[in-house]
């Protein structure tokens, strides 16, 4: 939040090491109960499909507060992939008063679930707003550019950078070990370097450090600030990820994205040709990444600067809609 100059008025302070989903949900519900009773909000705005979003919507519903859902309507149709996010967003969808969808397919998903069309507004995704905000500031602020260049001075501009992120719960165990094995093999590709900011979850860090620690051409980093990560995306050649947000951000940079999941609720990027599902099979991840690194034609087909997730005005549309409808 510091990147955007935001300081929260209230910090629930519910996160603890090794926390279970049950423990997090219970802690959030009790903390939000107190906040809602004290603040008496007119509207609760929840974004995405996290456990926090689901619990925030449910807590608001219990208090009779109208729920607005940002990034509404995403679906894979498989309750186990992604888990628990598919259930979280469906629950929020049942409780929401206003649904702010990023794209037409997301809107159609809600219409198929018999959501009132009058409650849906197609805005694009505010993640694009945030990316444009930071990217413009990076271009205009020479001191910011200098800071990034100094912090990441070890980057070799003569090598193609494969940027990796991974954190999905459904991949923990064998799937995550296969991902790490693939990254180890990709790092052997000539003139290639792998950069991996490692998620803080111990179930991610353990296999990553065990399999990739000390591997030549693999740089394991601590999690990056948002603007730092945007800089790394801009410097990258190919992105390997299981993140939903990155699937929405990378097209703005014209970076091919290989999605290390079995399904994606963001089919728009796949349909646009800028992203491709590769699952968690080590062989497939290596094969598809190597093709992009070594085949210029294959790379050019995916490296299109075309973002189907919005034009950077989502936040303005959402604010306007809430102010128009909340008084009703």
Catalytic residues: 49, 71, 85, 167, 169, 199
105 contacts: CB under 8 Å, gap ≥ 6? 73, 267, 268
34 contacts: CB under 8 Å, gap ≥ 6? none
CA dist., res. 172 & res. 84, Å (int): 13
- 53 close to 25: Cβ distance less than 8 angstroms: no
CA dist., res. 204 & res. 207, Å (int): 6
CA dist., res. 69 & res. 99, Å (int): 5
Q: Please, which residues bridge with residue 101 across strands?
A: 122
CA dist., res. 63 & res. 36, Å (int): 7
DSSP 170: G
Sign, CA torsion 5/52/276/269: negative
- Cite the beta strand spans of 148-295 per DSSP E: 160-164, 192-197, 218-221, 238-241, 257-259, 275-277
């Amino acid at each position: 939040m510091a990147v955007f100059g935001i300081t929260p008025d209230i910090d629930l302070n519910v996160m603890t090491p090794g926390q279970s989903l049950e423990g997090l949900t219970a802690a959030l519900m009790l903390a939000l109960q107190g906040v809602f009773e004290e603040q008496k909000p007119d509207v609760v705005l929840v974004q995405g499909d996290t456990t926090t979003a689901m619990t925030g919507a449910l807590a608001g519903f219990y208090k009779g507060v109208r729920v607005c859902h940002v990034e509404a309507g995403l679906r894979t149709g498989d309750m186990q992939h992604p888990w628990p996010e598919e259930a979280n967003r469906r629950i929020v969808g049942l409780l929401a008063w206003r649904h702010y969808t990023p794209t037409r397919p997301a809107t159609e998903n809600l219409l198929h679930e018999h959501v009132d069309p009058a409650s849906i507004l197609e805005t694009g995704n505010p993640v694009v707003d945030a990316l444009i905000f930071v990217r413009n500031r990076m271009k205009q602020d020479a001191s910011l550019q200098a800071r990034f260049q100094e912090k990441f001075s070890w980057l070799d501009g003569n090598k193609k950078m494969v940027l990796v992120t991974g954190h999905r719960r459904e991949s923990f165990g064998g799937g995550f070990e296969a991902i790490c094995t693939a990254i180890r093999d990709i790092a052997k590709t000539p003139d290639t370097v792998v950069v991996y900011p490692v998620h803080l979850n111990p179930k991610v860090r353990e296999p990553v450090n065990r399999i990739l620690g000390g591997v030549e051409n693999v740089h394991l980093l601590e999690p990056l600030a948002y603007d730092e990560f945007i800089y790394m995306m801009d410097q990258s050649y190919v992105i390997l990820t299981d993140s939903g947000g990155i699937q929405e951000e990378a097209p703005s940079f014209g970076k091919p994205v290989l999605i290390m999941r079995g399904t994606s609720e963001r089919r728009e990027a796949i349909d646009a040709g800028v992203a491709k599902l590769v699952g968690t099979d080590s062989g497939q991840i290596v094969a598809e990444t190597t093709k992009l690194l070594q085949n210029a034609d294959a790379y050019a087909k995916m490296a299109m600067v075309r973002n189907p997730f919005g034009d950077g005005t989502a936040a303005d549309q959402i604010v306007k809609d809430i102010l128009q409808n909340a008084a009703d």
